[in-house]
Amino acid sequence: MKIRGLMISAVVGSLTVGLLTGCMDSFAKQVKKDPNSIINKKTDDIKKFDPNAKQVVSDSKVRVDDPVLYAMQAYGPMMEQISKMNIEHAVDLFHAEHDRYPKDHEEFMTQIIKANQIKLPVLPGGAKYAYDVENHKLQIVKDLEPAKK
Question: Is the predicted pLDDT of residue 97 greater than 80, yes or no?
Answer: yes
Burial of 117 (0-12, 13-18, 19+ CB in 10 A): exposed
- Cβ–Cβ under 8 Å, residues 49 and 84: no
Residue bearing the bigger pLDDT, 140 or 64: 140
Over residues 36-58, mean pLDDT: 88
The mean pLDDT of 65-69, rounded to a whole number, is 83
pLDDT for the residue 13: 62
DSSP for residue 53: S
pLDDT at 134 over 90: yes
Q: Quote the pLDDT of residue 86.
A: 94
| C-beta atoms surrounding 142 within 10 Å | 13
pLDDT for 27:
52
Work out the pLDDT band at 12, boundaries 50, 70, 90. Answer: low
Closest CA to 126 of 56, 69, 70: 56
Is residue 121 within 8 A of residue 37, CB to CB? The reply is no
The model's pTM: 0.69
Whether 1 shows a pLDDT value over 60: the answer reads no
At residue 143, the pLDDT reads 86
Predicted confidence band of residue 59 (pLDDT cuts 50, 70, 90): confident
Domain boundaries, the chain: 1-31, 42-143
pLDDT beyond 70 at 9: no
Q: Is the pLDDT of residue 35 over 60?
A: yes
List phi, psi (to 5°) of 112: -110, -60
Residue 56 has pLDDT above 70, yes or no: yes
Mean pLDDT for all residues in the chain: 83
